[in-house]
Chain A
Amino acid sequence: MTGWDIFTIFCAIFLGSSGFILLYVFLRDAYRDRVEKIKR
């Protein structure tokens, strides 16, 4: 395994987890906003 392989795997882990985390945060915020709107 070369340095390029390791860099590729590192980038893939970072990019994949960014996708998951941002989707999670977005859905969480959207859910909270909706609950607040209903309460009001």
Chain B
Amino acid sequence: MGNYVANIDYLIIFLYLVMLVSIGIYSYQKDSSYEDFILAGRGMTTPMLISTMVSTYYGLDILFGSSEMAFNDGLMAFFGYALSTLVFYLFIAFYMADKLRSANFISLPEILEKAYGRKTSSIGAISSMVYCLPTTSLFALGRVSEFVFGVDAHYGAFILGGIALAYTLLGGLKAVAITDTIQFSLMCITVAVGVPLLVHEVGGFVAIQENVPAGHFKLFGTVPPWLLIAYASSSLAVLIDPSLYQRIFAARSARQARNAILTSTVIWTTFDWLVVAGGMAALAAVTSGILSSDVHPNDAFLIAVTYALPIGLSGIFLAGVLATAMSTIDGYTLVAGSNISYDMYRPLIKPDATDAQLVKATKIGIVIAWTLGYVVAFQFDRIMALLIFVTTVITSTVFVPVLMALFYQGRKTALAGLLSCGAGLASVLTFYIGMSQIGDYNEVWGTYIFSFSIGDYAFSIWQEYALFFCLPISLLGFFIGNIFGNKVEEAPLKSEAS
């Protein structure tokens, strides 16, 4: 990697990091209220919303994950995986943004608190916090540091992740939104320049078609159909993504939130395609001998684009790659911190907490969330497995109760929320533990598969199928709780009182 990066590139990366810390110091407000700190005073404009939505959602896990999938499976990465997520974003823009912004919520668990009471919101807060831990981004940041700077992944993640932690603590969502805007521009411009140059370098799509397997140009690839549906189902998590909700709550109006999501969706689509095209071009570069054959699929995109870019632009691209990780770390850590303070500390320990105490508790929560994310990040060999697990946990736990709270007009009981959340969470844990006991680990797919046959028919259940079982269980829990429970008494929320 060092062969493709010059001193001027390192200087650009250094200047970029100095700028991030400076923005944190500039955004620091000594006596900010809780809403100022966590929602930037609900005053975010459309450009800021777009930048912070796109850059927060688009982390290194997706950048490397999509390009790796394109490297291994081709067009399926775009048509089978990325597009399903975009459909759900359109649903949020047209059917959810208005409901969420108009209700003046502060966090996702607060929706559960209003509909089902505090016990359900506490379970929702825990699963939201686990989902928002910056585990995958810190892991990926460590890996990039190893490649770019040649430093140990643990140190790289600690220093670069520490910079993201510092400006988040100093300026809250305001600092996160300002840095996200700059990071978003860096990401867009560098990928927009780097990928076409790489495609041109390998000889365009004619050469790519000649140098990759024919299956790479099948729209849905050669992946088993049920696994494809499982991948698409994991995209359901965007409908209850706590970080996206926070951006919607922070918008000046519901209209601005909707416009920002619609624009972001188009940007995500173009970004996804360029990453997929880059992954396929990287494979063509390897098979045609332009790049070394021992390149790992995970790193192929990064190495290939850096190879294609001239000196100076490589530095900006690598700063853009770091920006991709840091914008995700800051956004999700902020939400996890607010889950600890606003959704756990306030209702369970100090219901009459003042704004100053909440801001202080949130900053402590941010440090706790970052530290937990850092510790967990290096405990797993396969980070994608962890990503799918936390996505399954939050979807199985809060998907049904949150959507019912927003769309179901009938009677809702506290027991319905509790059973839906609890049964969903318990079923995920049971499924994962069960699969690791009775399933066989498949080295090719990197997952547990349980195979059995009934009569002449053979069946295989993959660990990735968890949602097919856990979501119906959560829905069943909701209806059983609704039959036997009592209607919840609606208490005024802090956001309503203020």
Contacts and interface: CB of A to CB of B under 8 A. Distances in A.
A35 interface: no
B442 interface: no
B45 A18 contact: no
A4 B10 CA distance: 34
B274 to A, nearest CB: 5
A13 B47 CA distance: 18
Contacts of A22: 47, 50-51, 181, 184-185
B48 interface: yes
A13 B205 contact: no
A19 B199 contact: no
B50 A7 contact: no
A19 B192 contact: yes
A4 B281 CA distance: 12
B205 A4 contact: yes
A38 to B, nearest CB: 15
A2 B199 CA distance: 12
B182 interface: yes
Residue among B206, B271, B273 facing the most chain A CB atoms (10 A cut-off): B273
A12 B274 contact: yes
Contacts of B199: 5, 8
B334 interface: no
Interface in A17-31: 18-20, 22-23, 25-26, 29
B26 to A, nearest CB: 11
A23 B182 contact: yes
B173 to A, nearest CB: 15
A19 to B, nearest CB: 3
Contacts of B271: 11, 15
Contacts of B205: 2, 4-5, 8
Question: What's the interface size class on A, roughly?
Answer: 20 to 34
B196 interface: yes
Interface string B187-223: 1110111011001000011101100000000000000
A16 to B, nearest CB: 3
Given A22-B50, A23-B185, A12 B204 contact: no
B193 A2 contact: no
A14 B86 CA distance: 17
B257 interface: no
A19 B185 contact: yes
A2 B208 CA distance: 11
B29 interface: no
Nearest to B268: A15
A2 to B, nearest CB: 5
A22 B264 CA distance: 11
Contacts of B353: none
Contacts of B188: 15-16, 18-19
Contacts of B193: 12, 16
Given A8-B273, A15-B191, A16-B192, A23 B204 contact: no
Given A16-B193, A20-B189, A11 B274 contact: yes
B51 A14 contact: no
B181 A26 contact: yes
Most chain-B Cβ atoms within 10 A of its Cβ — which of A15, A16, A22, A29?
A: A15
Which 5 residue pairs of A and B lie closest in terms of their CB atoms, listed nearest first?
A: A19-B188, A16-B192, A11-B270, A23-B185, A4-B205
13 contacts: A8-B273, A12-B192, A12-B196, A15-B188, A16-B192, A18-B267, A19-B184, A19-B189, A22-B50, A22-B181, A22-B184, A22-B185, A23-B185
